[in-house]
């Protein structure tokens, strides 16, 4: 039987670490997606995700359930990512297009189904590089908005909850970020 | 009927499926008739897919199996989070930071290990190679005392004598054998040294 978030949170608040383990394993990759997009460094992202869950556990007694658990986790993760970037001024960046696995183990997705056309493969890799280059040039807040919307599929309301800003701000940041990304791809046709 | 400018203003709402039903129908009709706006919408949708799948691919390649263990240890003992990293990661990070050089992602543990092994082998080779030529002096002198002591006359023709001391009844000379580097100490009584 699979428990819902609310039930698991209640159990974890009562000290049940096993319930918290289920929550961690349920959300670890979703949180990692946003943090990796924010930091563009797998090792740093894992450290921040780890810290996100530790903070969440310690603050669990104060979690009233007014918002959903995952928006609360996203909020902690985004804030920690922004703090991390401020702290690590000399942080080095691994370009995402180099982090994406190559060869036989490459997961489906960016590589076109069947992998027939080398031209399409090359173009897609170039597109990925351009998209991430454009993401890198965004401010952390713009980056967070576009990742939460495009990758995680959060609604405007949820994003405003995560970032603690109005829906108007969310829409304006999203528009700006999309325009930047779009402009970066124009020359690729 | 909406114009291209109207569509541009509604683009975000269109992409996020937040248009009202009647607006959605108007936009669909416009896109059907307008190639430019249709191409614009297509490029945005392609970019959305690229971003989503690229991040998903990267995340799928990350091993998160140790995450819960690290979180559990931290909450169990109430200690600050500690990085769970492979041994080579700090070295790679240090290399990246050194002199502003950005190390490429291909600096993998295997390559790093190979280079480290090659560097150690080179250091060992150089260290032993430098020591080898300097040591035989004493050994040669020990191995060939009879030569230097029993045939002093023949040795003296082609060598530079480093010291020569004569005292009552005997003479002591020292020199270096040019080919072997052996230190020769020659002791003779006074008559032998004078060639008598």
* Domain limits, chain B: 4-60, 68-128, 136-193
The confidence score (pLDDT) of residue A8 equals 94
Q: Average pLDDT, stretch A181-187?
A: 78
Higher-pLDDT residue of A30, B57: A30
Q: Is A125 exposed, middle or buried (0-12, 13-18, 19+ CB in 10 A)?
A: middle
The whole-angstrom separation of Cα B17 and Cα B24 is 8
The whole-angstrom separation of Cα B84 and Cα B48 is 33
Q: Which of A99, A135, A182 sits opposite B44 (nearest CB)?
A: A182
Of B34, B62, B160, the closest CA to residue A39 belongs to B62
pLDDT band at B142 (very low <50, low <70, confident <90, very high): very low
Q: Would the CB atoms of A32 and B89 count as touching at under 8 Å?
A: no
Of B53, B31, B33, the closest CA to residue B42 belongs to B31
- Is the predicted pLDDT of residue A71 greater than 80, yes or no? yes
B87-114 in b/e form (b: 16+ CB < 10 A) is: ebeeebbebbeeeeeebeeeeeeeebee
Asked if the ipTM is above 0.90, the reply is no
Contacts (Cβ under 8 Å, ≥6 apart) of A62: none
Q: Average pLDDT, stretch A115-143?
A: 79
Listed range (A21-35, A122-136, B26-40, B91-105) with the worst mean pLDDT: B91-105
Listed range (A2-11, A39-48, A116-125, B43-52) with the worst mean pLDDT: A116-125
How is chain A split into domains, by residue range? 1-93, 111-189
pLDDT band at A87 (very low <50, low <70, confident <90, very high): confident
- Is the predicted pLDDT of residue A176 greater than 80, yes or no? yes
Higher-pLDDT residue of B112, A158: A158
Helix (H) or strand (E) holding A151: none
CATH (residue range A111-189) = 1.10.10.10
pLDDT band at A30 (very low <50, low <70, confident <90, very high): very high
How many other CB atoms are there within 10 angstroms of residue B126's CB atom? 10
Q: Which residue of B has its CA nearest to A53?
A: B71
The whole-angstrom separation of Cα A184 and Cα A133 is 8
Listed range (B31-35, B83-87, B126-130) with the worst mean pLDDT: B83-87
pLDDT band at B104 (very low <50, low <70, confident <90, very high): low
Q: Where are the alpha helices (DSSP H) in A100-150?
A: 118-136, 140-146
Phi-psi region of A146 (alpha: psi -120 to 50; beta: other; left: phi over 0): alpha
Q: Would the CB atoms of B59 and A135 count as touching at under 8 Å?
A: no
**How distant is the Cα of B121 from the closest Cα of chain A, in angstroms?**
31
- Is the predicted pLDDT of residue B106 greater than 70, yes or no? no
A11-33 in b/e form (b: 16+ CB < 10 A) is: bbbeeeeebbbbbbebbbbbbbb
Determine contact, residues A86/A38, Cβ cutoff 8 Å.
no
The whole-angstrom separation of Cα B61 and Cα A111 is 14
The beta strands (E) that lie in chain B are given as: 161-167, 170-176, 183-189
Angle between helices A17-39 and B67-77 (to 10 degrees): 120
The whole-angstrom separation of Cα B166 and Cα B181 is 24
Determine contact, residues B154/B117, Cβ cutoff 8 Å.
no
Q: Which chain B positions have a beta carbon within 8 Å of A57's beta carbon?
A: 71, 75
The confidence score (pLDDT) of residue B153 equals 47
CB of A124 within 8 Å of a chain B CB? The answer is yes
Listed range (A64-73, A81-90, B83-92, B95-104) with the worst mean pLDDT: B95-104
Three-state SS at A93: coil
Order of all β-strands in the sheet with B161-167: B161-167, B170-176, B183-189
The confidence score (pLDDT) of residue A97 equals 43
The confidence score (pLDDT) of residue A151 equals 94
> What φ, ψ does residue B183 adopt, rounded to 5°?
-85, 125
Report the residue of B44, B49, B51 to disrupt the A interface, i.e. the one with the largest count of A CBs within 10 Å.
B51
The whole-angstrom separation of Cα A115 and Cα A106 is 11
Q: Which of B44, B55, B60 sits opposite A151 (nearest CB)?
A: B55
The confidence score (pLDDT) of residue B4 equals 95
Contacts (Cβ under 8 Å, ≥6 apart) of B84: A46, A50, B66, B67, B69, B70
Please report, for residues B111, B121, B179, the alpha-carbon distance to residue B128 in angstroms, rounded to integers and kept in the order given. 26, 11, 22
Chain A, residues 1-40, CB within 8 A of chain B, namely: 17, 20-21, 24-25, 28-29, 32-33, 36-37
* Residues forming a β-bridge with A108: A111
A1-93: CATH topology: Rna Polymerase Sigma Factor; Chain: A (1.10.1740)
């Amino acid at each position: 039987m699979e428990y819902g978030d609310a039930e698991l949170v209640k159990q974890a608040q009562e000290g049940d670490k096993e319930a918290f383990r289920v929550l961690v394993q349920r959300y670890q990759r979703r949180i990692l997606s946003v943090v990796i997009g924010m930091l563009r460094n797998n090792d740093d992202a894992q450290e921040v995700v780890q810290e996100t869950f530790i903070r969440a556990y310690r603050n669990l007694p104060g979690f009233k359930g007014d918002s959903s658990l995952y928006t609360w986790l996203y909020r902690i993760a985004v804030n920690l990512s922004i703090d991390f970037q401020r702290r690590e001024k000399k942080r080095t960046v691994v370009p995402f297009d180099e982090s994406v696995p190559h060869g036989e183990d490459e997961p489906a997705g960016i590589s076109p189904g069947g992998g027939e056309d080398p031209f399409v493969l090359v173009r897609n890799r170039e597109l990925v590089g351009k998209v991430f280059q454009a993401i890198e040039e965004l401010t952390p807040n713009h980056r967070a908005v576009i990742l939460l919307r495009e990758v995680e599929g959060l609604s405007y309301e949820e994003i405003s909850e995560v970032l603690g800003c109005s829906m108007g701000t969310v829409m304006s940041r999203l528009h700006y970020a999309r325009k930047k990304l779009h402009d970066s791809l124009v020359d690729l046709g | 009927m909406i114009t291209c400018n109207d569509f541009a203003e509604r683009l975000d709402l269109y992409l996020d499926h937040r248009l009202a039903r009647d607006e959605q129908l108007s936009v669909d009709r416009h896109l059907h008739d307008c190639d430019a706006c249709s191409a614009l919408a297509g490029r945005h949708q392609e970019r959305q897919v690229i971003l989503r799948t690229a991040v998903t691919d990267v995340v799928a390649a990350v091993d998160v199996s140790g995450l819960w263990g690290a979180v559990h240890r931290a909450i169990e003992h109430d200690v600050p989070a500690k990085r769970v990293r492979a041994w080579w990661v700090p070295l790679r990070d240090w290399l990246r930071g050194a002199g502003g050089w950005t190390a490429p992602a291909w600096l993998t543990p295997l390559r790093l290990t190979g280079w480290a092994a090659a560097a150690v082998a080179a250091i060992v080779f150089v260290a032993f190679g430098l020591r080898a030529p300097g040591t035989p002096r004493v050994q040669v002198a020990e191995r060939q005392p009879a030569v230097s002591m029993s045939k002093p006359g023949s040795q003296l023709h082609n060598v530079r004598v480093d010291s020569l001391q004569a005292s009552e009844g005997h003479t002591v000379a020292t020199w270096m054998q040019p080919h072997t580097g052996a230190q020769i100490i020659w002791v003779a009584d006074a008559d032998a040294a004078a060639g008598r």
